[in-house]
Amino acid sequence: MPDILWITGGRVIDPANKRDAIGDVYIIDGIISNDISEDQKRFAKKIDATGLVVTPGLVDIHVHFRDPGQTHKESIRTGTEAAAAGGFTTVVCMPNTSPVCDNAGTIQRIIDKVARDAVVNVYPTGCLTLGMEGERLAPTGQLKKAGVVAMTDNGKCVQSNEIMRRAVEYAKMFDLTILDHCQDETQTEGAVMNEGEWSLRLGLRGWPKFAEDIMVARNVLLAELTGAHIHMQHVSSANSIDIIRRAKERNAPVTAEACPHHFAFTDANLHDYDTSFKVNPPLRTDADREAIIEGLKDGTLDCIASDHAPHNATEKDCEFDIAPLGIIGLETSLAASLSTLYHSGRLSLSEVIALMTHKAAAICKLDSGTLSAGATADICLFDLDEEWTVDADQFFSKSRNCPWHGQRLTGSVKATYVAGKPVFDGQSIIA
């Protein structure tokens, strides 16, 4: 007898298939089915989802799990537990581990650990350059064969236009998307927050938007020159969004993402030097925040990603200037997006879910993010209207550097399934 799961009574939202209605989802042996027989219904495990939203498992193409080498901050196990608690069933890990992911051996080490410890699907990325030093190309072909789904020097940006051009050309040769952290480092040395009124008020070194804009423009030109797909990570500047919008009007092969912290907060949130808000790129102005939301609405920005970047308390609990850049976001990403985008009336629920499922998956060519018949049954159930107070001390992540700590958010994950198996029940990890 096959293993049959029947989720009934929920509001099923599957943007890839333009589905938004109260209905049923059927799973047979971990695979989505259009229907099941009356006989199968008698033997099915029935899940009553009345009052809940049922969606494809969420997809995040920008996370840092710090494994190998920095597991005091996060590990494959704790990172994927945090993902499951946030409704995510598929994540793409950045390569700035210790050692970095610039060789097949490190990729295999990660894949082996994922097989042992992960409770959700994890895909690795490979470095564009050796050591992420921006000087010599990493072995793109070997990394593709080892299992990477994209190439990036995330955490750093290749400063040499010549090296970046060659890296892009090789990535295109092996049909790999380039994910780029856009930052002209000559403009940001010693910078710790957005350059503007609040950096002047606080007496902190400003980080100009121009440092992002110039690299976004470079990448657009390289994409048009080579035909390679370049994806701009964590876009924070209104000018960058305008550059991307105009590039898309020319059908340039570029995509881009936004992070919840960039459309939920501004540089004014740093008024009391709270290092939980110190992130790369920095929180910008309210005009930039509005431009990000508009970019998500009109399709200029293609997906939402958390940029989950764990740091432990001793690293963050220090002077603002020397605290590391980065925040955690997997366990708040859905609720923060719903609170800021949907409950405010800026985007429809289907639009928000699309940005966090099939649209994100498409960027790295992942077979995820839909409830299509024949698809793996990765599923998220959440209460759209439940309010909760964020308590980072109760997170599954090892780290606590959360800017939403103590705040109220609306939208609570109640269950997460991977390949038809429960991994999170709203309170505990099951896998």
Instruction: Please check whether residue 429 lies inside any domain of the structure.
Output: no
Read off the amino acid at residue 27.
Answer: I
Instruction: Please check whether residue 414 lies inside any domain of the structure.
Output: no
CB atoms within 10 A of CB 405: 17
Q: How far is CA 287 from the centre of its chain?
A: 23
> 209: domain CATH number?
3.20.20.140
Q: How many domains does the chain have?
A: 1
Domain that residue 89 falls in: 57-363
Instruction: Please check whether residue 239 lies inside any domain of the structure.
Output: yes
Q: Of residues 272, 307, 367, 425, which has the active-site annotation?
A: 307
Cβ pair 236, 285 in contact under 8 A = no
Q: Across 157-302, where does the E strand assignment appear? A: 177-180, 193-194, 206-207, 230-232, 254-258
How far apart CA 11 and CA 14 sit, in angstroms, is 10
Instruction: Please check whether residue 9 lies inside any domain of the structure.
Output: no
383 annotated active-site? no
The pLDDT tens digits for 12-25 are: 999 999 999 999 99
Instruction: Please check whether residue 221 lies inside any domain of the structure.
Output: yes
CB atoms within 10 A of CB 317: 13
Read off the amino acid at residue 123.
Answer: Y
Question: What is the greatest pairwise CA distance in the chain?
Answer: 71
Instruction: Please check whether residue 383 lies inside any domain of the structure.
Output: no
pLDDT truncated to tens, each residue of the chain (431 aa)?
689 999 999 999 999 999 999 999 999 999 999 999 998 999 999 999 999 999 999 999 999 999 999 999 999 999 999 999 999 999 999 999 999 999 999 999 999 999 999 999 999 999 999 999 999 999 999 999 999 999 999 989 999 999 999 999 999 999 999 999 999 999 999 999 999 999 999 999 999 999 999 999 999 999 999 999 999 999 999 999 999 999 999 999 999 999 999 999 999 999 999 999 999 999 999 999 999 999 999 999 999 999 999 999 889 999 999 999 999 999 999 999 999 999 999 999 999 999 999 999 999 999 999 999 999 999 999 999 999 999 999 999 999 999 999 999 999 999 999 999 999 999 999 97
Instruction: Please check whether residue 30 lies inside any domain of the structure.
Output: no
Instruction: Please check whether residue 388 lies inside any domain of the structure.
Output: no
